[in-house]
Structure 1
């Protein structure tokens, strides 16, 4: 049995996924120093800036990069950060500033509005941002659960390292070679069911290093997002403008080699949700009729409305990393972000 079924260069934007995943994007932006309002010092975005060939993108932001208030229903977002910070606000009056290795889970469930902005905190040096956003589907029985979100701070996130020090893995969900992810996903997440076997890992391999992925249950996809070349399951992989997509046979081990450069991979695996998927923008349901009902619900209720005076909410520059959930604020012990 071949370890690799398909290899394909990804030339920009959302990357190909398989159930139970819906969507994954690798965000890597090198923003300039911001102005006094944490905005871009000169450029005003056009609200649709997704050019993956550019040094940075404004996305839907016009002055602050990011994604101003928008709705979701029927799935959840997993935002796994590496560099930079994100300001989150939502229609339940939850919010927070997180990044630099933090992990946020947000179950949209029956419906929520939220904003995800990337404030340019530094006014004297560039602002770099690097993170993954992953959309994980919900089965039909959980499509209408109450919205929820959880924060796993960077110091809580667990990792694995090889004996030779040439390869490592950040374990955002699931089990990687005996290292289990910290805490639990939200209660109604598909990943909270042990039978789903959801695994989300960020793998780094130094030049000349190798790593063997153990057999998995369900489907497994790899995305080479950094590095020029690698060999995966005996097949040569070259990264495109954005990334390389690698569909593997989960039931056999997969050998990864990085002979010419340091490499980084995202690994997504899990049992498929064997149900129909009907998507309309930010809404993901099982039937077209449910999509029609969702659009009507949103027009009628705005999923709770937007309790802020601006759609692109950002917090004060001096505010450290924090999470506000149901009126209670928490923060990691190392919540300073400016140096």
Structure 2
């Protein structure tokens, strides 16, 4: 048998996952009660570097927002974003005039393709309690042949995403939320049509795992070429191949081995990212992911020329009405809400 654990590192806000992924980011912000307009009260903004607030010593970060936290309008080309909201809400707006609100377990899958602008704002919808936000955003690369496809986004509602209940020989339970790929013959919802994940042979698995005390799961052997990362981001300690791993950690695993993960005496929460590499040159520069610097320069020229379709919203960081429930607007005629 080969080595199962390739290396273990500290868990961080940002991680370069490896082909076919680009980066993984983890946001955890304990936002306070809202100010009635989905923003932060002025007294809470003192000493904040508004417009570029990434203070990791603070309970919450405003990022590029100045009243409502979040990421006002910015462009992308050449890759996909998969945003998994564990807690709180995100308001999406884009250059096609589409919008939505998602959160509390929902996932947005967005293909930037040939170029789009979007805003991701974090509305503080509650004025009577804190507005904690926790999310993962994963950048998944597109192969060169798909880098100029039409932009596309879809919502994977929490109610629709399959969850596998894994019970071990001692009756302890783990829950595997299958966002992409499959777990023990349970398949995910369909990813976007031009995604590397859309071909099952590429083995793109994205799981959120909740392990109760003393539960266990088996991550199956796939191939020697697979890139596999497991993130223990919250909870207790886990054990792999006789090694105790203390929360929080990033674990690089062998894709050609079956990996048994056993939890300790506390609930543990993990994210699995794995996939076969695309195997093409990757040039990531700012908001663009291409295969050469010339393509990066071309992306900047195109953006300066037409701003990827412009920006139809009055504000750089629009938010939906406070009372609006989770929804996705795919066109003027197609507005979708999660099933009740």
For the aligned pair, the TM-score class normalised by the smaller chain equals over 0.9
The count of residues paired between Structure 1 and Structure 2 equals: 329
Aligned to 1:4: 5
CA deviation after TM superposition for structure 1 residue 165, in Å: 4.5
Of 296, 300, 306, 2:305 maps to 300
For 2:120, which of 111, 116, 119 is the aligned residue?
116
SS at match of 1:162: strand
CA deviations 1:223-279 (Å, max 9, x no partner) are 11002422223322223xxx4111100111112122242211100011001000011
1:27 match: 27
User: Could you state the TM-score of these two structures normalised by the residue count of structure 1?
Assistant: 0.94
Deviation at 1:322, TM superposition (A): 0.7
Contact 2:172–2:216 at 8 Å: present in 1 too? Answer: no
Q: Which runs of 4+ in 1 moved over 3 A?
A: none
1:308-319 to 2 correspondences below 5 Å? 308-319=313-324
Structure 2 alignment gaps of length 5 or more: none
Residues 230 and 260, structure 1, Cα contact 8 Å, conserved in 2: no
Task: Name the residue aligned to 1:80.
Answer: 84
Structure 1 equivalent of residue 174 of structure 2:
167
Matched, 1:195 2:201: yes
Root mean square deviation, CA, Å? 1.3
Contact 2:172–2:213, Cα closer than 8 Å, also in 1: no
The answer (yes or no) to whether the contact 1:16–1:245 under 8 Å persists in 2 is no
- Who is 2:243 aligned against? 235
Match of 2:273 among 268, 273, 276: 268
Normalised to the residue count of structure 2, the TM-score between the two structures is 0.93
Moved more, 30-39 or 250-259: 250-259
Which residue of the partner structure matches residue 63 of structure 1? Answer: 67
- Counting only pairs closer than 5 Å after superposition, residues 121-270 of structure 1 correspond to structure 2 as 121-163=125-167, 164-182=171-189, 184-217=190-223, 218-239=226-247, 243-270=248-275
Distance 1:98 1:53 in 2: 27
**Which residue of structure 2 aligns with residue 16 of structure 1?**
16
Can you give the 5+ residue segments of structure 1 that lack an aligned partner in the other structure?
Answer: 335-339
Cα contact 2:213–2:267 (8 A) shared by 1: yes
The 1-side partners of 2:148 and 2:114 are apart by 4
After TM superposition, the structure 1 stretch with the greater mean CA deviation from structure 2, 279-288 or 325-334, is 325-334
TM-aligned CA distance change 1:313 to 1:90, over 3 Å? same
